[in-house]
């Protein structure tokens, strides 16, 4: 058995088979329709088979293929329910597990990177991985000083596989489009490819994780395990015991969902403000809920455990004030000011002429969660936004095509939309406005504009 399907020809063939399989099933569906079966029934069946093939292939290949699958997993809430159902089960599998690499390969990496006497660093080491993801897998162990630790081991050939997969998937983006209705895959794949070097560098990851661990030490709401040891392809961190966020999504009570959602929103906005870094991989597999040893007790005291700092956006001043200012002005109905700000920041190119009122109409439904004291995120709400923007006949779609997303905002946009996708999977009621007023520069009303008390 190989560590990771590395041969480019093998991986390319598997990925190239995805759109071919989709086309074949479509032709089969046409034949069944001619034979008398209903179009709706056939479409559902085709989507289910397509989902199974797509995410089975992405999970088996790991590397960039699985990275794309995990990135897509947070957007299933935007899909129509008859499509989302078949996708949901397949996507969830990618959030927590992937086929593991052989034990002998793990030992070989540890021996090469930590030295032939690597076992002396541990009191205990579990050969069976506790988790396996896109470019590495995690083993539970006990460090030589008695601390429980997580040992992250990078797959041999992970860099080659990441680049190969994402290059091939980029070429297939147009053909893969029908597999995820309403989503443009090419920019997502391109952005993932741009982050390959950082994803593979455990030194960068260790520095980002240490910065978060220092800042959130003794925090009442967020827990980040500290780094114990770091090597070229091995990263040892403190072990974090908790309930996977995916379990709360699948089985949690409403109170548990609300608490998890509030903590997720708090970390999204406070992390960048407090550390100058934005955790940029917010899929459910990277979060745990720490229940204080009582998972069935009241969730008010739950804390959010955050894992995997392999991809971060460096924002030394926190989130750009333009974001908060534009949101506040939009909520205040200041169409002209919003349009002027978007033009100045490059969201509207100089040669494009847009009606400020139309821009406001486009933005208001998207930022609805910030309009009220509490907002309940639902799949129906996310679906309505996706449909409004994806429908070529809608004014929102036409306007969206004329807007530009400056490169410096690409990762911020993906992290924000991904987090909203997870909140919709949770169905959580969240005080989002409170978090934004505290942590997003420019969102709170400036002091000088507030009326003095009578």
Return the residue matching tokens 């040992």: 151
281 in catalytic set: yes
Go through 226-254 and write b for each residue having 16 or more CB atoms within 10 A of its CB, e for each that does not: ebbebbebbbbbbbbebbbbbbbbeebee
Distance, CA of 213 to CA of 104 (rounded, Å) = 32
Contacts of residue 31, defined as CB under 8 A and 6 or more positions apart, other chains included, come to: none
DSSP string, 52-90: HHHHHHHHHH-HHHHHHHHHHHTTGGGS-HHHHHHHHHH
Contacts of residue 200, defined as CB under 8 A and 6 or more positions apart, other chains included, come to: 135, 154, 158, 159, 162
**Which phi and psi (to 5°) does residue 310 adopt?**
-70, -25
Distance, CA of 361 to CA of 213 (rounded, Å) = 41
DSSP string, 172-238: HHHHHGGGSTT--HHHHHHHHHHTHHHHH-HHHHHHHHHHHHHHTTT-SSEE-PPEEEE-SSEEEEE
| Active-site residue, from 3, 281, 308, 313 | 281
Asked whether the beta carbons of 66 and 59 are under 8 A apart, the reply is yes
Helix (H, G, I), strand (E, B) or coil at 410: helix
Catalytic residues: 281
């Amino acid at each position: 058995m190989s560590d990771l399907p590395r041969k480019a020809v093998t991986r390319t063939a598997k990925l190239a088979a995805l759109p071919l399989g989709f086309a074949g099933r479509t032709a089969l569906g046409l034949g069944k329709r001619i034979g008398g079966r209903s179009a709706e029934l056939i479409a559902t069946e085709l989507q289910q088979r397509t989902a199974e093939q797509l995410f089975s292939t992405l999970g088996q290949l790991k590397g960039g293929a699985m990275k794309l699958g995990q990135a897509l997993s947070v957007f299933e809430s935007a899909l129509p329910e008859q499509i989302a159902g078949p996708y949901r089960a397949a996507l969830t599998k990618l959030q927590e597990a992937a086929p593991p690499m052989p034990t002998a390969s793990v030992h070989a990496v540890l021996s090469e990177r930590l030295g032939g006497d690597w076992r002396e660093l541990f009191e205990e080491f579990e050969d069976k991985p506790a988790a396996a993801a896109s470019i590495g897998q995690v083993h539970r162990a006990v460090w030589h000083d008695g601390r429980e630790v997580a040992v992250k081991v990078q797959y041999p050939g992970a860099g080659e596989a990441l680049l190969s997969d994402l290059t091939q998937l980029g070429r297939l983006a147009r053909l893969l489009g029908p597999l995820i209705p309403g989503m443009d895959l090419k920019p997502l794949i391109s952005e993932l490819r741009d982050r390959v070097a950082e994803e593979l560098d455990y030194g960068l990851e260790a520095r980002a994780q240490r910065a978060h661990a220092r800042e959130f030490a003794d925090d009442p709401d967020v827990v980040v395990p500290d780094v114990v040891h770091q090597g070229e392809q091995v990263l040892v961190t403190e072990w974090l015991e908790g309930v996977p966020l995916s379990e709360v999504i699948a089985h949690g009570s409403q109170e548990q969902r609300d608490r998890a959602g509030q903590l997720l929103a708090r970390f999204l906005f406070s992390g960048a403000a407090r550390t100058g870094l934005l955790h940029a991989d917010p899929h459910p597999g990277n979060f745990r809920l720490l229940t204080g040893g009582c998972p069935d007790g009241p969730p008010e005291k739950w804390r959010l455990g955050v894992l995997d700092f392999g991809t971060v956006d460096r924002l030394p001043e926190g989130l750009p004030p333009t974001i908060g200012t534009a949101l506040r002005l939009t909520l205040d109905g200041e169409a002209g000011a919003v349009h002027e700000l978007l033009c100045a920041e490059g969201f509207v190119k100089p040669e494009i002429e847009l009606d400020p009122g139309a821009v406001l109409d486009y933005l208001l439904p998207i930022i609805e969660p910030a309009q009220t004291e509490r907002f309940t995120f639902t799949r129906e709400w996310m679906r309505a936004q996706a449909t409004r923007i994806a429908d070529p006949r809608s004014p929102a779609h036409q306007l969206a095509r004329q807007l530009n997303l400056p490169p410096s905002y690409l990762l911020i946009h993906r992290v924000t939309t991904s987090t909203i996708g997870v909140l919709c999977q949770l169905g959580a009621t969240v005080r989002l406005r409170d978090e934004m007023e505290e942590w997003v520069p420019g969102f709170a009303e400036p002091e000088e504009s507030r009326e003095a008390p009578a």
